[in-house]
Amino acid sequence: MNKKIYERPILRKVVEGMPNKFGSMKRIRPINTIDNVLIDDIIDSYGSPVFILSEKTIRDTYKSAYRAFSNRYPKVQFAWSYKTNYLDAVCRIFHSEGSWAEVVSGFEYEKALANHVPCNKIIFNGPDKSKNDLVKAIQNKSLIHIDHFDELYTIIQLTDELNERPQVAIRVNMDTGIYPQWDRFGFNYENGEAWNAINRILTNSKIDLIGLHTHIGTYITVSKAYAIAIEKLASLANKTFERFKTTIKYIDVGGGFASQNTLQGAYLPATDTTPSFDDYAHAITTALTSVNFPNNEVPTLILETGRALIDEAGWLAGTVLANKRLADGHRAMVLDVGVNIMFTAFWYDYEIHPVNESSFQSEPTTMYGPLCMNIDVIRKNIDFPLLNKDDRFVIKRVGAYTMTQWMQFITYRPNVVLIDEKGKLHLIRKGEDKEVFRKQEIVPKHLLEKAELKN
């Protein structure tokens, strides 16, 4: 155990954390371990900054989500949203729990195949499927979720050429009371476009329409919106049966559940306001079970939950580079973690903790990243303990979208490690170095010679 740093006793006025109607504000306490592994040890072995994922948290979160739905509805299937975090180790954990794959590009499709997901358990979403992608997906009998009429026409043409029966669903967008409405993906419900698409598919006798899909948005805190989506998809399913005698096998409500990260400008912390898996499950399954489906055959409920399944399992540990005062005297801290690897810092107020016991005093502080860019702000005006240069901190709930939306800008992307359920560390993505970039870049021959700087 580390010896605590001695601090001379002080008398202090209790001003920090003035009580308000929610009680008194809590001092930000150190977090020095993740799953009983010392964060200091992780940084010492894998460098700073470093992303850390907890296999235990991933599995526990998945199990509680699955339980919330399967306790209430007989046929439930999750499909892991690759774009939320497509590190192979992460995907394979979800697959080993029973999750299918949900992909939105040829790249992600290839990744799912390489992770040994059976082809008919890969859902291919998104507006960007090349003709080659579609050929592969049709031949593999993957589930193609059609986004627009041009894609439908390509599929119809390929059906004739390939002599295969594509397995398709359509993506439907609709008014669920969530605004702005995401109407750029799929076919609209209210104006009849979705029904037209269904008609176009089923008048072609060679395509199997097996599902209906929607994804109403992300960070949806109103569980009732999903109930509205279910009602609308169910009415399409029943109309489809009446007109074509085709049974829709699954209803896929997409992702969008909120995580416990607090949005900037939110009045209360998300840990107090985000609906639980049980809340979402209750709204969704109540809507589903109140529908009379043809022949009482209930469709499988597919969920493409991303953010809410992985955010909690991700951590980012880093080091303080410097402290300084802004022109107006406000305290500023420079961290080795920037928005290049924390794109999501633009809309979340991340929870940040010192790794070790530090000064008892705190002061409103703005945390900047290391980039030479004014917008590189990780946290604005947080009442934070005074850390020194080289002290370490850890950021909570960074599992979703950070490790896919990060960009290589100014500096390398760092190592990612996984703590397995026995507390053993595994490097699951190597940090970049100059060799990575040397491999990608090609210098034209006429620029190869040793550059002579012109005076």
Ligand X SMILES: *Cc1c(COP(=O)(O)O)cnc(C)c1O
**C-alpha to C-alpha distance for 149 and 136, rounded to whole angstroms:** 19
Residue 307 binding ligand X, by CB under 6 A: yes
Residue 32 binding ligand X, by CB under 6 A: no
Q: Which of 49, 106, 211, 255 binds ligand X (CB under 6 A)?
A: 255
Q: Which of 49, 106, 254, 370 binds ligand X (CB under 6 A)?
A: 254
Closest approach, Cβ 65 to ligand X, in A, equals: 11
Which of these segments, 31-39, 242-250, 251-259, 430-438, binds ligand X (CB under 6 A)?
251-259
Binding pattern for the stretch 83-122 against ligand X, x by CB under 6 A and - elsewhere: xx-----------------x-x------------------
Range 201-220, binding ligand X (CB under 6 A) = 215, 218
Closest approach, Cβ 307 to ligand X, in A, equals: 4
Nearer to ligand X, 221 or 366 (CB): 221
Please say whether the beta carbons of 4 and 356 come within 8 A. no
DSSP structure class, residue 74: S
**DSSP codes joined into one string, 142-203:** -EEEE-SHHHHHHHHHHHHHHT---EEEEEEE--SS-SS---SSSEESTTSHHHHHHHHHHT
Name beta bridge partners: 124.
103, 144
Nearer to ligand X, 51 or 124 (CB): 124
Contacts of 191 (CB under 8 A, 6+ apart): none
**C-alpha to C-alpha distance for 350 and 261, rounded to whole angstroms:** 7
Q: Which two tokens stand for residue 167?
A: 């397995």
The number of beta carbons lying within 10 Å of the beta carbon of residue 122 is: 24
Residue 129 binding ligand X, by CB under 6 A: no
Nearer to ligand X, 111 or 392 (CB): 111
Q: How far is CA 71 from the centre of its chain?
A: 25
Nearer to ligand X, 84 or 99 (CB): 84
Residue 256 binding ligand X, by CB under 6 A: yes
Nearer to ligand X, 195 or 401 (CB): 401
Q: Which of 306, 385, 399, 414 binds ligand X (CB under 6 A)?
A: 306
Pairing mode, strands 37-38 and 362-368? unpaired
Nearer to ligand X, 345 or 355 (CB): 345
Question: CA of 225: how far to CAs of 38, 175, 228, 268, in Å?
Answer: 42, 9, 5, 21
Residue 147 binding ligand X, by CB under 6 A: no
Nearer to ligand X, 166 or 186 (CB): 186
Q: What is the CA radius of gyration of the chain?
A: 25
The number of beta carbons lying within 10 Å of the beta carbon of residue 72 is: 17
Closest approach, Cβ 277 to ligand X, in A, equals: 12
Sites of contact with ligand X (CB under 6 A) = 81, 83-84, 102, 104, 125, 215, 218, 254-257, 304-307
